[in-house]
Amino acid sequence: MNNPKKNPRIISLLLLLILPALTVAAGQRLMTIAGPPWLGENLDPTYRYLMNSLNMANLHRPYYTDHPGTPIQSIGAVAIRGLNPTGSQTDRAQAVVRDPEKYVRLINGLLVLLTGLAVLVTGYIARSVFQSLPLALMIQATPFFSMTTLQGLTQLRPEPLLIGLAMLVVGIALLAIKSEEEKDQRYAIAFGVVIGFALSAKINFVPVAILPLVLIRSWKGRLIFCVTAGAAFVLSIFPILNRSLLTQMFGFIVNTAGHTGRYGSGQAGFIDPARYVAALVTLVKGDLIFFLLVVLSVLALLAQVKFKFIDRRSWRCLLGVTAAEIFQLLLVAKHPAARYLIPSLALLGLNAALLAAAVKTRLNQTGQWGAIAAVLLLFAIIQIPAAKNLIAQMTGEANRQLTAYEELNRDYPGVPVATYYTASAPAYALSFGAGYSGNLYGAIMQQTYPNQFFYNPWTGKFLNYLGPVDVATVTGSHPWFILRGCSLSDPDFKIFLPPNPIPDNVKIEPLRNTNIDRPGLVDCEAIYRATVQK
């Protein structure tokens, strides 16, 4: 005979499976909507990670260290090796080069699955800590609080993994809230392992470290956290523990921090005040729920001084997570791209749950469900139109790029083409990835995709997969050729280019999409007619 007391618990545990499953499903669906990974909007940094994952699968060091991103490449290497457990390095390279999309989608699927598991684990922890299914579901809904977070589940990059790691930080924080002070050291180690690993995936996870530094109550515990995080970081970047690669990694970080423009461009300095304020406003408008929850958290922290409606431990946790989110916002405004907010966007469920828990004792079970229903309704009012807009935007971008690729092949048959950053073309995507991974498989790519040419506007050189070629090799017997990539008149692209990005002996004439400027976006799919001057 069934025990009636066990049924509600079983039902609640089953309900906690729904949102993790929806997270995984949403990630896979958006990945499909975004279109092929080789589209210009998708290939950077997707193909950087793919080709460096191939390096590691063949027991070579990765060359791409900017983020530094090593865990993503390690997971990618495991996936590639798993599909090709036998055979030579050449066999594995040929498999990836012939069907790169298959491997991009596989690795992305693994990253999203890991995030789904993190959402599941964190939900069970929240259910145990709060003894409340509504609050547990609220935390599990975190990926749906922001369209930026949902879009971050797509492609081969650190963001899908960062969402899951941030959710695990939330789970550890919940356990630490209810622990005795003498157990702080145990949670300091747990925080250190997760955050150190996350920092090795992408350094912009650093604001999240504020949460454990505030929540841990002793200086000894904080020291243990810092040491553990440092050790976890070093172990996670073990494949790039090489002098030149570390110099490259730290050089990128220092250069980016020390210039007012994006990715180390612009004048020396930390920020450009006028652009910085405008970027802050844009980021806030783009993630309204993030801003609202942070403001509510700040108000609650201030109200605590008079009303004492939050227990001390929860207050410290709310202070830590809010400080982390504010710091993340201020940091990202220097290089304004919404996806860089993802580490803190994935903490928002903790804010919501702590605020809700503060009033939980004043509500009965019916009141709790009513309150969460009201919150979810408010979120739905904001998020459903945002989701429709995101899907429409992603669909439109994918169609625009696919159309540009198809029109080029249709309208200029037989004309040689040299592609550059970031033209939507399968051949260019592989070349782009090879350029950031040491080009160890150039011969294989050249054999698989002959007669493909590329251009590097930073060096002024034309190339094939094997290396530089003379421009006469590109044109062959044809009197002119197509140069295709980002618009050379786009101010958002020009800031990264040298003063004369086209060789003196090559004359270009605009053909299509060459005078587009969407402020703040690098506009690609431009087509130029290029003629070699005698």
pLDDT, tens only, 32-80: 999 999 999 999 999 999 999 999 999 999 999 998 999 999 999 999 9
Does 398 map to a domain?
no
**Judgement on whether residues 371 and 463 belong to the same structural domain of the protein:** no
pLDDT at residue 262, as a whole number: 65
- HSE toward the beta carbon, residue 321, CA cutoff 13 A: 35
Q: Check whether residue 358 and residue 209 sit in a common domain.
A: yes
Q: Does residue 233 lie within any of the structural domains?
A: yes
Give residue 491's domain range.
Answer: 412-532
Q: Are residues 453 and 389 in the same domain?
A: no
Could you tell me the pTM of the whole model?
0.93
The pLDDT assigned to 258 comes to 66
> Which run of H or of E encompasses 507?
strand 506-512
The predicted pLDDT at position 48 comes to 97
**Chosen domain end from 364, 393, 422:** 393
Q: Residue 234's pLDDT is what?
A: 97
- Whether residue 431 has pLDDT greater than 80: yes
Same domain, 206 and 288: yes
pLDDT for 368: 65
Does the pLDDT at position 256 exceed 80? no
Taking residues 175-199, report their average pLDDT: 90
Please tell me the predicted confidence (pLDDT) of residue 365.
Answer: 65
In whole angstroms, give the CA distance from residue 317 to residue 130: 14
Q: How many domains does the chain have?
A: 2
CA distances for 93 relative to 36, 47, 85, 109, 195, angstroms: 20, 14, 13, 21, 33
Q: Residue 446: inside a domain, yes or no?
A: yes
Say if residue 336 is in the same domain as residue 459. no
Helix or strand run (H / E) with residue 348 = helix 348-360
- Shared domain for 77 and 171, answered yes or no, is yes
Q: Other C-beta atoms within 10 Å of 22: how many?
A: 16
Residue 432 and residue 497 in one domain: yes
Pair (387, 457) in one structural domain: no
Instruction: Cis check for the bond before 68: say yes or no (omega within 30 of 0).
Output: yes
Greatest alpha-carbon pair distance for the chain in Å reads 93
In terms of domains, do 170 and 293 share one? yes
Tell me the residue type at 238: F
The answer to whether 123 touches 350, Cβ cutoff 8 Å, is no
pLDDT at 312 over 60: yes
- In this structure, the answer to whether residues 446 and 500 fall within a common structural domain is yes
Flag whether 7 is in a domain: no
Domain end marker among 393, 427, 447: 393
- Of the residues 362, 393, 424, the one at which a domain ends: 393
Per the domain annotation, does 129 fall within a domain?
yes
Domain co-membership, 329 together with 468? no
Q: Is 5 within a domain?
A: no
141 lies in a domain?
Answer: yes
Pair 153, 27: CB distance under 8 Å: yes
Check residue 1 and give its pLDDT: 46
Residue with tokens 């090593």: 70
Closest by CA position to 82, among listed 102, 61, 62:
102
266: left (phi over 0), alpha (psi -120 to 50) or beta: left
Q: Are residues 34 and 151 in the same domain?
A: yes
> How high is the pLDDT of residue 2?
53
In a domain, 400, yes or no: no
